[in-house]
Amino acid sequence: MKPLIGITGRQLALGMVANTSERFREQRIGSYFSAFADGVAAAGGIPVLIPFAADAADVVAQLDGIVVTGGQDVHPARWGGLAAVDPTVDPRWDHDAHDAERDAYEAALIVAAVDSGTPLLGVCRGHQLLNVVLGGTLIEHLDEGPIVHSASYAAPSDGDPGHVVEFAEGSVPHVVYGARRVTNSWHHQAVNRPGNGLRVVGRTPDGVVECIELADRPVVGVQWHPEWTATQPEPIFDWLVDAASRRTADELVLDRKAMA
């Protein structure tokens, strides 16, 4: 049985799509980057889009793994940030606007996944939200230095050769990638203080946190975009699907024992 891997996205107004009829401009659409689905499917999983509609705990109970994807900044009120927020800007019509509804729903998914031991991969914003949900903080804005984090190149990309992430020995990314990895980079915020139970397992040479993982749980956050890697293999999706597959197999064994 192939594991079901839920993928989060965002809700936008249909009018954001060019040439939409005026009759339907205000209707919402569920949107996510299809490259995530490609990565999950290539690793042997079945990708499933997660809308905001159903109870988060009920959704997690039906899934074998979850990807919390990238997007706009996490609302600063969630972690004590000082950035100004314009409450009049609608995230359905502005893809960079803070989205409190998305924050709340994805936070509930993360809590349910952690509580149930469901494998979870947080990517970029998802990596940062994971940290915030577990009580951590973020760096409000990174000043660019020799290592560029908010890159100007287009997706997909393998990243700039100078953007090297070094991984802690024995960590999930160390097992998956080896000691280091050149990654792409499109972010202006970063993990500051790690949340409860999280440990930093990947940094660039300038000290910016690029990867975190949760002790005793199959939960990993990465700051780069594995779905948009251009030519390098992206085994982090294999890790997620494998973890989800083993969880499914364990549950089947337990079910059979209960029926015996």
Task: Identify which of 110, 41, 100, 97 has the alpha carbon closest to the alpha carbon of residue 69.
Answer: 110
Strand 164-167, strand 198-203: pairing: antiparallel
**Residue 47 bridge partners (DSSP):** 5
Catalytic residue flag (residue 124): yes
Catalytic residue flag (residue 211): no
Query: Is the Cα torsion angle 132, 65, 57, 125 positive or negative in sign?
Result: positive
Cα–Cα dist 181/120, whole Å: 21
Catalytic residue flag (residue 127): no
Catalytic residue among 75, 124, 127, 163: 124
Token pair, residue 44, equals 């042997």
Catalytic residue among 106, 210, 213, 227: 227
Cα–Cα dist 65/239, whole Å: 11
Which own/partner pairs from 26-35 qualify as long-range (CB within 8 Å, at least 24 positions apart)?
A: 28/92, 32/7, 32/8, 32/69, 33/9, 33/69, 33/70, 33/227, 33/228, 35/156, 35/227, 35/228
Which residues are catalytically annotated?
Answer: 124, 225, 227
